[in-house]
Amino acid sequence: MTFHNPGYLFLLLLLIPIIYWYIKEMHKADASLQISSLQNLTKFPKSKRIKIRHLPFILRLLTVIFLIVAIARPQSTNSLRNETTEGIDIMIALDISGTMLAEDLKPNRLEASKAVATEFILSRPNDNIGLVIFAAESFTQCPLTTDHDVLINLFKGVQYGMIEDGTAIGLGLANAVNRIKDGKAKSKVIILLTDGSNNRGDIAPVSAAEIAKTFGIRVYAIGVGSHGMVRVPVPTPLGMQYQLMESEFDEQTLKDIANITGGKYFRATDNLRLRNIYQEIYQLEKTKIRVREYSKKNEMFYIFALAAFVCLISEIIIRNTVLRKIP
């Protein structure tokens, strides 16, 4: 409950000296009589007039209190809050070529990328998110969806060997653009994650970036891998053998893709840096929430005014009946 004129409530402080005055006057009005013993007087019951002699004053106080509260205009408020969430479309394009098995990220680049991307998906419940994977070719692992449980399950199933080995960055990016361009969201984003340079496919990465720009799609390019030599498992006739390979990729192409589309380029050299990159993208791409609030105020002063009237009438009746003074 709120008050339209709360300043009037300070008038209630005036009741303190009035109550003090009444108590003082009651003590003055008490008559005194000296007797030897109270033994016989205790047998007489108290008069009804004695028991309710303070009731008129109490009713008068309540009348004043209720009137002051009524003047302050108490109001009850009914509020309705309506939230509309406007999500964004996000397509993750993930490189699953053989070099993504390098173990400079733990347990390797591919598994680290999957784990951090899963955390990112869970942090954005209102967004449409999909997954495109690529190596020598590209295909859609999961179209745009808000059913993130299904998306995460499909993410967990991604592994090396699903596609012929190679790195077709342009083809992977173009596939992601094709999947996201018709989305209904105003904001469209592609997160491109790779550790190599374009060596397969018929579409150049920069050409795919130009297509993304045409549809107003921003691309956040993430280059995964530390500097220097890295330990990479390589398939041989005797099984998987580890070899030391130079960690290098076409960093300039990824920067060009980000610049053309109005996105940003990141370099992830370890698990912590990769996680921080996704957190930065999370901050850059905010989900819009529109909030509308409706409020209706109901006047309640009449309740207190009615209570004051009842108290005043009750006081008048008591003074003129039970406590009536005979001249």
With cut-offs at 50, 70 and 90, classify the pLDDT of residue 254. very high
Within 8 A by CB and 6+ apart from 199, the residues are: 166, 167, 168
Q: Is residue 71 part of a domain?
A: yes
DSSP class of residue 287 equals: P
Tell me, yes or no, whether 248 and 194 share the same domain.
Answer: yes
pLDDT at 304: 85
Q: Which of 140-154, 166-180, 182-196, 236-250 has the lowest mean pLDDT?
A: 236-250
User: In this structure, is residue 33 part of a structural domain?
Assistant: no
Domain match, 112 and 243 both: yes
By residue count, the chain amounts to 327
- Confidence band for 285, pLDDT divided at 50, 70 and 90: confident
Q: How confident is the model at residue 46 (pLDDT cuts 50, 70, 90)?
A: low
Q: Are 224 and 302 found together in one domain?
A: no
- pLDDT at 160 exceeding the cut of 80: yes
Tokens of 205: 């990465």
Whether 187 is in a domain gets the answer: yes
Please report, for the domain that includes residue 99, its CATH number. Answer: 3.40.50.410
- pLDDT, average across residues 109-131: 93
Q: Which helix (H) or strand (E) holds 191?
A: strand 188-194
Among 84-93, 132-141, 220-229, name the most confident range: 132-141
Evaluate if residue 282 carries a pLDDT over 70. Answer: yes
Same domain, 266 and 220: yes
User: What is the pLDDT, as a whole number, of residue 171?
Assistant: 95
Has this prediction a pTM greater than 0.75?
no
Same domain, 279 and 312: no
Per-position b or e across 97-132, b if 16+ CB within 10 A of its CB: bbbbbbebbeebbbbbbbbbbeebbeebeebbbbbb
Q: Assign 83 a pLDDT band (cuts: 50, 70, 90).
A: low
Candidate from 30-39, 167-176, 182-191 with smallest mean pLDDT: 30-39
Flag whether 251 is in a domain. Answer: yes
In a domain, 324, yes or no: no
User: 111: domain range?
Assistant: 88-286
Confirm whether 34 is domain-assigned.
no
Q: Which residues contact 123 (CB under 8 A, 6 or more apart)?
A: 282
User: How high does pLDDT run on average in the chain?
Assistant: 85
Which residue in 155, 145, 146 sits closest to 115, CA to CA?
A: 155
**Cα–Cα distance between 93 and 70 in angstroms, integer?**
66
User: Do 173 and 315 reside in the same domain of the chain?
Assistant: no
Q: Residue 35 domain-assigned?
A: no
Query: According to the model, what pLDDT value does residue 221 have?
Result: 95
Q: How far apart are CA 273 and CA 271, in angstroms?
A: 6
Same domain, 229 and 112: yes
User: Would you state the structure tokens that stand for residue 67, as one six-digit string?
Assistant: 């009137």
pLDDT above 90 coverage of the chain, percent:
42
Examine the domain organization and report whether 95 and 204 are in the same domain. yes
Q: What is the pLDDT of residue 263?
A: 94
Q: What is the largest CA-CA distance in the chain?
A: 126
Domain count across the chain: 2
Give how far Cα 182 sits from Cα of 88, 120, 187, 284, 305, Å.
12, 23, 11, 22, 63
Peptide bond into 107 cis (omega under 30): yes
Poorest-pLDDT segment among 214-228, 261-275, 288-302: 288-302
Same domain, 94 and 241: yes
Query: Does 169 lie in the same domain as 268?
Result: yes
Same domain, 113 and 262: yes
Query: Rounded distance, CA 8 to CA 16, Å?
Result: 16
The answer for residues whose C-beta is within 8 angstroms of residue 72's C-beta and 6 or more apart is 3, 4, 5, 6, 7, 8, 9, 301
Q: Does residue 41 carry a pLDDT above 60?
A: no
| Domain presence at residue 32 | no
Q: Do 210 and 315 fall within a single domain?
A: no
Residue partners of 195: CB distance under 8 A and separation at least 6? 95, 97, 99, 100, 102, 109, 223, 224, 225, 247, 249
Which residue reads 């990824």 in tokens? 254
> At residue 36, what is the residue type?
S
